[in-house]
Amino acid sequence: MILTGREIGTQVKADAIRISPFDSQLLQPNSYNVHLGDRIGWYTSKVLDCARENPFEETAIPSDGMVLEPDRIYLASTREMIGSNHFVPVVHGRSSTGRLGLFVHCTADLIDIGSYGQLTLQLHAVHPVRIYPGLQIGQVTFWVPQGEIDLYDGKYQGSIGPQPSQVHKDFEAR
List the helix and strand counts (H, then E) for the chain: 3, 10
Query: What are the distances in angstroms from CA 46 to CA 41, 50, 73, 136, 163?
Result: 15, 13, 12, 30, 19
Lowest mean pLDDT among 20-24, 30-34, 148-152: 148-152
Neighbours of 105 (CB within 10 A): 18
Phi first, then psi: give them for residue 6, nearest 5 degrees: -60, -40
Q: Report how far residue 16's alpha carbon sits from residue 11's, in angstroms, rounded to the nearest whole number.
A: 5
Instruction: Kindly indicate the confidence band of residue 76, based on its pLDDT and cuts at 50, 70 and 90.
Output: very high
Q: Report how far residue 75's alpha carbon sits from residue 43's, in angstroms, rounded to the nearest whole number.
A: 9
CB 138 within 8 A of CB 33: yes
- pLDDT tops 80 at residue 117: yes
Phi first, then psi: give them for residue 8, nearest 5 degrees: -55, -45
Highest mean pLDDT among 15-24, 94-103, 108-117: 15-24
Mean pLDDT of the chain: 94
pLDDT of 165 reads 87
pLDDT of 174 reads 58
Give mean pLDDT, residues 133-145.
Answer: 97
pLDDT of 109 reads 87
Domain ranges of the chain: 5-172
Give mean pLDDT, residues 119-134.
Answer: 96
Amino acid at 19: I
pLDDT of 96 reads 93
Please tell me what DSSP assigns to residue 108.
-
Please tell me what DSSP assigns to residue 110.
B
pLDDT of 173 reads 62
Supply the pTM of this predicted model: 0.92
Q: What is the CATH number of domain 5-172?
A: 2.70.40.10
CB 78 within 8 A of CB 34: yes
Please tell me what DSSP assigns to residue 26.
G
Amino acid at 70: P
Q: What is the pLDDT of residues 77-109, one digit of tens each?
A: 999 999 999 999 999 999 999 999 999 987 788
End-to-end Cα spacing for the chain: 37
